Amino acid sequence: MDYQQLGKLGWKSCFGGQLTEEEERNSFPVRVAAHFGSRVLCLTGSEEIVLPIEQLHDCGELAVGDWLLLDNETRRGVSRLPRESLISRKAAGVKSKTQLIAANVDTLFIVCSCNHDFNLSRLERYLAVASESRVTPIVVLTKADLCEDRDVFRQQALQLQSGLIVETVDARDTGDMEPLAYWCRSGQTVALVGSSGAGKSTLAMSLGAGPLLTQGIREDDSKGRHTTTVRSIHCLSAGGVLIDTPGMRELQLADCEEGVAKVFDEIVALAEECQFRDCSHQGEPGCAIAAAIQCGELDTRRLKNYQKLQAEQARNAQSLHERREQDRKLGHFYKATLSANQKRKY
């Protein structure tokens, strides 16, 4: 196994530690770089392998960023290595279906501009997703060059979560990328989220995002037509990789009760102090949250956003549960029909 080549893809030694001797002998790791319906693009660090999805059946549902083991001889997927993190979202348009966005991301750059785009509630939403996905969030405030006092924005963002790291940058300036380099070093995987126009592409460019392989990529199909393969993994000048998929750009909360509770942990703690266990914090006597609002310890915007995100995630989680139930029942139905058909045949 060429660990140096794998390092370029964000491979960490802890992944290697999970392999059995047999797996080390008979298989090799690849990273999922893109998914196009029936085919999956996998990278070894020195080679690109496009595999039909059936060949990866044993690896389960796949996300960009997943590490898979392929059999040395057949190149069939043997298994998927346990994920260190997984970012998922409620699929756009499809009611209550979860879509896997990216796996094994170490750091999420939450991008927001120091202008009218700056929105604390949106930042909290992304922080909840990061927490739920087990990814370290870093808030990157762009367009700092265009505002009078970048520190005003920075201080507000710092309040959102204890220990939160917030950087202010001119995303066009490579010199401003230095504080971010640590998160982009070799063996690290980062992803970007933020609203349209916040500066994600500009930031990616300044971080040196480029194609992972410069040779051996076939851009022409068998008929000589030019084809562009959408690669979702890019290498960065600091040695790490960036996962950038269209799905990353529109995250919604899906089943992330823990993430929301973590980001708003002071509100959760306050609620435990309320006189009534089922206090709805809407004027009941002995409400600790109302008291905190009154004395200015907690602001109304934050409480409202907590309640909104809480309700939103509960709704999504509920419909996900219903869907899973439905799928389960449908599964039983198929099985029953299948066995009835088989009985008829024999």
Instruction: Give, in order, the Cα–Cα distances in Å from 233 to each of 11, 59, 122, 202, 213.
Output: 13, 20, 25, 16, 10
Separation in Å, CA 148 to CA 115, 151, 152, 175, 283: 10, 9, 9, 20, 41
Quick one: which of 194, 240, 247, 259 contacts ligand GTP (CB under 6 A)? 194
Q: Which is nearer to Zn ion, 242 or 288 (CB)?
A: 288
Q: For the segment 242-301, give every residue that binds ligand GTP (CB under 6 A).
A: 249
Q: From the CB of 111, what's the least distance to ligand GTP, in Å?
A: 6
What are the structure tokens assigned to 29, written together? 């790791």
Identify the residue among 71, 145, 257, 284 touching ligand GTP (CB under 6 A): 145
Which option in ligand GTP, Zn ion, none does residue 198 bind, with CB closer than 5 to 8 A by kind? ligand GTP
Size of the site for Zn ion (CB under 5 A): 5
Q: Of residues 86, 289, 309, 317, which one binds Zn ion by CB under 5 A?
A: 289
Which residues ranging from 263 to 282 are in contact with Zn ion (CB under 5 A)? 274, 279, 281
Nearer to ligand GTP, 188 or 202 (CB): 202
Binding mask 113-152 toward Zn ion (x if CB under 5 A, else -) reads ----------------------------------------
Binding partner selected for residue 202 from Zn ion, ligand GTP, none, CB under the kind-specific 5 to 8 Å limit: ligand GTP
Selected range binding ligand GTP among 71-79, 182-190, 195-203, 334-342, rule: CB under 6 A = 195-203
Phi and psi at residue 87, in whole multiples of 5°?
Answer: -100, 125
CB of 174 to ligand GTP, least distance (A): 12
96 is in an annotated binding site: no
Closer to ligand GTP at the Cβ: 32 or 198?
Answer: 198
Beta carbons within 8 Å of 171's beta carbon, 6+ residues apart:
111, 140, 142, 143, 199, 202, 203, 206
Per CB under 6 A, the segment of 30-38, 152-160, 168-176, 335-343 that binds ligand GTP is 168-176
| Residue of the chain from 48, 117, 170, 312 that contacts ligand GTP (CB under 6 A) | 170
Q: Which is nearer to Zn ion, 78 or 267 (CB)?
A: 267
Smallest distance, Å, CB 302 to Zn ion?
15
Whether residue 195 is annotated as binding a ligand: the answer is yes
Asked if 122 is part of the footprint of ligand GTP (rule: CB under 6 A), the reply reads no
Q: Which of 135/298 has CB closer to Zn ion? A: 298
CB of 157 to ligand GTP, least distance (A): 15
Identify whether the C-beta of residue 32 lies closer than 8 Å to the C-beta of residue 66.
yes
* Residues binding Zn ion (CB under 5 A): 274, 279, 281, 287, 289
* Residues binding ligand GTP (CB under 6 A): 142-143, 145-146, 170-172, 194, 196-202, 249
Q: Which residues are annotated as a binding site for Zn(2+)?
A: 274, 279, 281, 287
